[in-house]
Structure 1
Amino acid sequence: MTSVARPPSPAAETTVIDVPVSDPRVKPLLRELGDEYAARYGGDARAELARYPDEEFTAPYGGVLLLLLERGEPVAGGAFRRYDATTAELKRIWTHSGHRRRGLARRVVAELEREAGARGYRRIYLTTGPRQPEARGLYLATGYTPLFDTEADPETIGPLPFEKHLHVTPRT
């Protein structure tokens, strides 16, 4: 018998926590992300997840992986790393397949932006793949500026770069 994840009731509470990449709750999200990359881009696409060492996603320069938890189970997450002295790069944004279309990715992006701003970053940079129209739509809907011709065929561009300037005050 196959179990199917159902969206939780509206009363389900979602909690944000900061965890290191090594936290066991991160593994299922990254595994599913790797599977999706492989399905969309081919078997070598999983290598993208190993492109940067885990240390780049830790303080003080890198971001902390943020997980959204419902009933203690991870349902969405993401991370950021130092791109340059004033820019954080969002990476590994993911929502579990059984929890999509509920605004969780928007919340992950907002939490990552907040944390990056609190660490003194003034700009967010990110790329998404040409075969991820959902991600492209998310970034456009959340105020990111495309750094590519949006009228061009995404397959002719390769990774689609975006940026967003933050207007936040760092923690004191």
Structure 2
Amino acid sequence: MREYSIRAAGPDDLEGARAVMLDTVYRDFGSGYVPRWHGDIIDPAAAYLAPARHTLLVALDPGTGSVVATAALDSRGPAHPPNPRHVAERYPSGETAQVRRVYVRPEHRRRGLARRMVADLLAFAAADGGYRSVYLHTDPAVPGAEAFWRSLGTVVHDERADADSGNGVLHVELALGAMTG
């Protein structure tokens, strides 16, 4: 079993992290880069390294040292629109740790990387002391995404049940500080 190194990203990790994220939005999501959704991918330093309450984690391949997975957390709650109003109100910015960009290159999946990285994000959020909840949304059409997030948290809203929603995403709450890596 390979032993991956997981750490907070530094400036030297950003190019590799950006590549993992862009590859994921093109390959897995099929949307490609959409500026209103993916600005943090283009400038991860401003989104995750500069703000004290934000973080970007990377997992490094033990053989090559290259970035093979990412996971991020910020204090921006879900906006309405595009998210349902009741979700945005339940998870206000500043009080909500939002998990983002949990992406693993396909050849490195099913090795516990995402689970370990999410545990580290939850520990980071708990240590902050200012977050009252942890939130994320996911596209259930991505293979494995729905089962993974349901195994870690509670679905608080499933947009697939909304007749007027074109997004079809799952909104999930994770227990603050509940996991260990």
TM over 0.5, shorter chain: yes
Structure 1: how far apart are the matches of 2:144 and 2:162? Answer: 15
> Which residue of structure 2 aligns with residue 49 of structure 1?
38
Percent identical across equivalent pairs?
28
Structure 2: how far apart are the matches of 1:97 and 1:139? Answer: 17
C-alpha offsets along residues 83-130 of structure 1, whole Å, 9 cap, x if unaligned?
Answer: 323211011110011111112111111111111211222311000124
Q: Contact 1:88–1:123 (CA<8 Å) still a contact in 2?
A: yes
What TM-score do you get using the length of structure 2 for normalisation? 0.71
Structure 2: how far apart are the matches of 1:17 and 1:27? Answer: 16
In the TM superposition, what is the alpha-carbon distance from 1:34 to its structure 2 partner? 2.1
In the TM superposition, what is the alpha-carbon distance from 1:73 to its structure 2 partner? 1.9
Structure 2: how far apart are the matches of 1:43 and 1:139? Answer: 22
C-alpha offsets along residues 119-143 of structure 1, whole Å, 9 cap, x if unaligned?
Answer: 222311000124224122111112x
What TM-score do you get using the length of structure 1 for normalisation? 0.74
> Which residue of structure 2 aligns with residue 78 of structure 1?
71
The verdict on how the C-alpha distance between 1:81 and 1:17 changes in structure 2, with shifts beyond 3 A counting, is: same
In the TM superposition, what is the alpha-carbon distance from 1:160 to its structure 2 partner? 1.3
Structure 1: how far apart are the matches of 2:120 and 2:70? Answer: 10
> Which residue of structure 1 aligns with residue 85 of structure 2?
none
Amino acid paired to 2:97: A
Task: Work out the number of aligned pairs and report it.
Answer: 154
- 1:147 is paired with a residue whose SS is strand
Structure 1: how far apart are the matches of 2:32 and 2:47? Answer: 24
1:58-77 alignment to 2 at 5 Å?
58=49, 59-62=51-54, 64-71=55-62, 72-77=65-70
1:82-121 alignment to 2 at 5 Å?
82-83=75-76, 84-120=93-129, 121=131
C-alpha offsets along residues 36-80 of structure 1, whole Å, 9 cap, x if unaligned?
Answer: 2552xx456575322686423233122x21011122122211101
